[in-house]
Structures are given as C-alpha cells and as structure tokens.
Structure 1
Amino acid sequence: MKNFSKYLSVLCLGLLLLVAGCSGDESSSADNEDTDASSFPEKPITLIVPSAAGGGTDSTARALANATEDHLGESIGVENKEGGSGATGMTEGANADPDGYTVSMVFVELTMLNHLGLSDLTSDQFKPLGLVNLDPAALTVPADAPYDTIDEFIEYSKENPGEVKVGNAGTGSIWHIAAESFAKETELELNHVPFDGAAPAVTSLMGGHIDAVTVSPAEVLPQVESGDLKTLGVMSDKRSDMMPDVPTFEEEEVDVTPVGTWRGLVVPEDTPDEIAGKLEEAFLKGAEEEEFTEFMKNNGLGLEVKNSEEFEEFMNKESQFYGDIISDLDLGSN
C-alpha cells in the first residue's frame, strides 16, 4: 500500500508538471502572437488586384497604396491577377498566408460569382478591412453612334436584334449583369462580348470593334472628355458627380434596377484580428489623405468609405441583392 501511495504521488506530481508545462507553452505562444502583431508589419505588403492594369480597380488600388504606405511604415506593391471576372485574383487572395502581408482589393463580383455558378468563392472566405469606392454603371457609345439618347439606343437595338455588341468586364462581371439587366427590362436582344476587365472593353469600343459598354463613368471619362465617346445614361437613382449633364435611366423613364460596382479591401479569413485591425486603420487613413481623395475626384471615381463592420454588413446585403437579380435573369446555375 505504501508503495502504491508513493507511486500515486509521483504520478500526480508528473501530471501537474505536464499541465504546468503545457500552460507555459500556451502562454509563450500567446506572447509570441502578441509580439508578432505588435511588430507588424516588418516587410512590404502585397496588394492583389483581380483585374487588368489600367482599369478603375487597378488605378484605385495603386492610388490607395501610395496614400497608405506612410501609415504602415512599409511599401505596398500591387500585383494584377486578372481573369474569371475577378475570381482568379480573389481566390489567390483568399488562399494566401493569413499573416497580413497579402491584402486583396475586391469588388462587387465577389458577391455574385457563387450565384452565377462560376466559383465557390464568397465574402465569408475573407476578413473585411473596409470599403473605399462605389460607382454606377453607365451606358457609353462612340461619339458618332447613330443615337444620342437611351430611347434612341433602345429603338436602334430593337430594329437590329442581336447585332448591337455590348462589351463587359467578363462573363458574370457587374458590367455584364448591368447590360443583361438593361436588356431584359427593355426587351432587347443584345450581343454581349466579354473582356478581361473594363479597360480592354473600352479600348475595343474606341477601336470600333463593339458598339457600347456598360462600365462605370470613371472608366470612360477621359474618352468622353476628349470627344471620342459619349455616355447616354447612368444606371443609378442619382446623377454621377463626374458626369452631371448625363441623365439617369430613371430620368429617361427607362425602368432599370440601379446597378453598380464597389471596391474594398480584405485579407484571408484566418488573419489575426490585431493584424487586420492595423491594416484597417492604415488603409482607412490612406483613404482620407488628400492625395487619394483628389485622385478619386479627378478620375471620376465615387469615394465611399466604410469600416470593416459596415463593409461586412454591406457585402452580405449585396450578396442577397445580386443573388435575387441573377435568379430573375436566369443567369446562374445555383
């Protein structure tokens, strides 16, 4: 019995030491995490842009990166990963190491791709940092096109069913949804032509290869101001500040649901809250810098800032909204 008691005492002591050791490891691990977060960042940040260089998303990302670097104390390098209506780049961003060193600029397609059956990607695979931009779709055509109003465009398209080529930023992109929604609600048969981003679509329009685009005012503003293109209307409930003389579809009595794009910043969902918080604070401060706000104004981009909580709620609502539209248009496979 004495030997058994002695054995039991030794066993209990061993267990206590084991528990204490584990607790010490956890404490050490927690301390390491705190140390990592407190010293973040210690190297340059990569900002993934899931679209082609030269478009509204790319230019917004580069301007914001420049305005944010001083608030982070490290450089921010932009990498374009176009394709799949943004799915390629956003998927890479979702699968990046959750260490805070890879941030992604996402846009409205993030809330649409799964409804379209094009990707399993959803906003739940990210931790939001904030929203920085919101823009409506705008119907833009060559300056010498045989129509000067939305009604004239509709009339021409009905007289030439299937012949009017409308470029978009890729199948399932917001600009594709905008054109499809416009066509359905006005009973038009349009020829939808996909590109890898808005910039290539606008270039094709300038070259006379397509007849119209339904991209944001910002993405056609230089060509409109130069007199090469003209915008017939914006799909919004109010006029664009960048094109105050261009009427809304509603003003022209064309009943089309307002459709537009937005752009925001995210990190992989498992990124530590402390690191995500530092990134959120830095990027939102960057969005307030005069160099960024002036850039947005001068380039016709709508400045709309929301913090991480507001952005998350906004994306959830957008997912529901576009899920309903895609179902109504019978575009998705879900």
Structure 2
Amino acid sequence: MSMKRNLLVAVVMAAGMSATAASAAECIAPADPGGGWDFTCRTVGRLLTELGIEEAPVQVTNMPGGVGAVAFANVAGKRADEGDLLVATSTVGVTQIAQGKYPGGVDVMRWVGMLGSDVGVIVVPAASPYASLDDLLGALKDDPTSVPVAGSSGAGGWDHIRLLMLADSAGMTGDAYKAIRWVQFDGGGPAVTQMMGGQVGAVSTDLGEIAGFVQSGDIRILAALSDDPIPAFPDAPTAKAQGYDVTGYNWRGFYTGGEVSDADYDGWVAALNTLYDSEEWKAAAEANGLIPVWRGGAEFETYVEQQAQQMEEISRQIGVIK
C-alpha cells in the first residue's frame, strides 16, 4: 500500500498505524483494451498518480474472459488478500453474478466504491438505414431475426437486457423479443468495430466504451437510455423522448479481494473518495459521457447486494434464469 494511502487509512481508522513502504498498486480490467472496464482502470489509475494519492504509477492488467468471470475467479482463488489490488466492475458484472455466471456471489469480494454512472446507448453505423429508434424497433417487430444486435455481455447480460426492455416497451411479445439475434463481444469497442465491418446491424452498450466512435462520426446514437440528454452529446435523443420509458445506467466502480484487511479496504475507499472530489475526475468523467456519482464502503456494499437481487428478479422475469 502506498504511504499516502496509509495516511488516509490513519485518518479513517483514527489510529496510530505506521506507514509501510510504498509499492505499486494494480488495477485489473477484466476485458481487452478499449472497453469500459479498461477505461475505468486506466483513467482512475492515471489520476490517482497525477494527484499524488498513489506514489507509484498504477499498473493496469487486462484479464478478459467470461465477461469478468476469469478475473473474479483469479482474485477469489489466488489474490483474495492482496491489499494493493483493485478490479474494475460495473452493473454488467453484478448482473453476471446475479445470474450465477461467476464462481461465487457478491459476498465473495469486498466492494470498494463507484465513481460514476455510464449511460446505455443504442448505436448504428453512420450510414445505417435506421434513422431512429422507431425504425430499428419497427424492423425487429416485423422480423426479430432481421437485425443482429451486439453488446459486451452474453445473452441475458445487462447490454442484452436493456435491448429487451426496449423491445418490450415497443410492444413485442416475450417469444418475439427473445428471438432477436444477439451477438456477444468482449467489450463495446470490439462490438462497434464488428458493426462497422457489417457483421451486426446495431450495438447496445455504454457510451463511455464507444464515445470516440461517436465523436469521429463513424456511428450514430439512436437512443440514450437516460432520463435527460447526455451533457457530452446533448443532441443524442433519449429513448424516453421517443416514447419508450426505458433507462439503462451502468455504474463504474471497483471491488477487491474478500480477505483484504479492513485497513487496506478503508484506505482504498478513502483514496477513491478523494479522487471523486477532484475537479480532474469530474472533467474526465463528463468528457467520456459519465455522470459522476459516489457510493463507497458499507453504503456501496449494500447497494451492490440490492442491485444483485434486482438483476436476479429481472432475469427471472425475462426467462434468462429459472
């Protein structure tokens, strides 16, 4: 643990703990470079160093596989007590846990904090024949197999669930919207790349993962799944504004191993809270379409437990699990 994080621990614990020698922290991004988890690790790691919260640069390790399951298993089985380790996660990961797709429940890890909430989007290539959400959902209603749609989660994952919620809001029956052709990629960036190559017709993902493609003009946002327009892309229409009462936020945060000491855990909570309060984090978050939101420590652990229960209920309702 870095010496500065030890000082934060001392404040939080109100005890005379001695500082240990500085060591480099590590952040595992459970996906390939370019996705939302990779962005979370790299941006947070960079700012922790630049702001002096961490004394040494934070090492980022990409560990793709199983929509986060490989990293989860690695930490649970081999690194459960490593106090210098963070793992990026989100609503996507908790949904996978709720559906039994990870080797353990939310109680296996210690949930450190969330720094912001990403907004779900439905995007198409710039030259797509679908000019609006109505056009896309109309095509799927006429023939659910006509437009392959991709995302960074498997069937029944959060990206897929958000699409099915829109299909349901459009009046499609359960049997019809379950027939939509869903293609999984390990990250929103790879999904968009394949869409631009013609392999799929639309992508359901998080804006933070693919904001660069929007800025470059390669793709268009058919719908932002937010209550209000996204500050970074105010012209992107919301699903609500188009008559579909659907939102789909995806928080961005971190867990650490279930056997990490209270001292190390509280140090990470304090460090991330300090980062969250900085103007640098607010600017980085908003530039990538994130809405800054803070939950940390015990409050965040309760929130994750409640969200896992909610995702399990939704998954049962749409028939993903029994």
Bin the TM-score by the shorter chain.
Answer: 0.7 to 0.9
Cα distance, 1:41 vs. partner? 5.6
Residues 1:247 and 2:229 are matched in the alignment: no
Which residue does 1:128 correspond to in 2? 111
Tell me the residue number matched to 2:309: 320
Q: What's the CA shift for 1:39?
A: 2.6
Match of 1:181 in 2: 165
Q: Which amino acid aligns with 2:123?
A: T
SS of aligned partner of 1:72: coil
Amino acid at match of 1:297: E
Displacement after TM superposition at 1:36 (Å): 12
1:65 aligns with 2:31: no
1:148 aligned partner: 131
**Matched-pair contact (CA < 8 Å) for 1:81–1:88:** yes
Residue identity opposite 2:163 in structure 1 = A
Q: Distance in 2 between matches of 1:282 and 1:232?
A: 37
Where do 1:100-249 residues align within 5 Å?
100-171=83-154, 172-186=156-170, 187=172, 188=177, 189-249=179-239
Q: Deviations over 1:102-151 (max 9, x none)?
A: 22112113322243232243221112221112122111111211121111
Q: Distance in 2 between matches of 1:60 and 1:113?
A: 19
Query: What does the per-residue CA deviation read over 1:271-291, in whole Å, with 9 as the maximum and x for residues that have no partner?
Result: 111111112212222233333
Tell me which moved more, 276-285 or 108-117: 108-117
Q: Distance in 2 between matches of 1:260 and 1:141?
A: 19
Identity %: 26
Q: What is the deviation of 1:46?
A: 1.4
Distance in 1 between the 2:165 and 2:73 partners? 26
- Distance in 2 separating the partners of 1:205 and 1:285: 39
Ranges in structure 2 where 5+ consecutive residues have no aligned partner: 1-14
Q: Helix, strand or coil for the counterpart of 2:253?
A: strand
In 1, the alpha carbon distance for the partners of 2:213 and 2:75 equals: 32
Instruction: Figure out how many residues of one structure are paired with residues of the other and give that number.
Output: 299
TM-score (norm 2): 0.85
Which of 292, 297, 310 pairs up with 1:308? 297
Shift of 1:233: 0.9
Counterparts of 1:271-282 in structure 2, within 5 Å, are 271-282=260-271
Indicate if the aligned counterparts of 1:178 and 1:260 stay in contact, CA closer than 8 A: no
Alpha-carbon distance, 1:43 to partner: 1.6
Does structure 2 conserve the Cα–Cα contact (< 8 Å) formed by 1:129 and 1:308?
Answer: yes
Q: Classify the secondary structure of the residue corresponding to 2:160.
A: helix
When the two structures are superposed, what TM-score results if normalisation uses the length of structure 1?
0.82
1:59 CA drift (Å): 1.4
Change (3 A) 1:137 1:248: same
Q: Give the aligned CA root-mean-square deviation in angstroms.
A: 2.3
8 Å CA contact 1:114, 1:121 repeated in 2? yes
Residue of structure 2 aligned with 1:39, choices 19, 22, 46: 19
Report the CA distance between 1:313 and its aligned residue: 2.0
Partners of 1:106 and 1:264 within 8 A in 2: yes
1:269 corresponds in structure 2 to: 258
Change (3 A) 1:151 1:86: same
- State whether residues 41 and 72 of structure 1, in contact with CA within 8 Å, keep that contact through their aligned partners in structure 2: no
Q: Distance in 2 between matches of 1:202 and 1:36?
A: 51
Q: Residue 242 of structure 2 aligns to a residue in which SS? A: coil
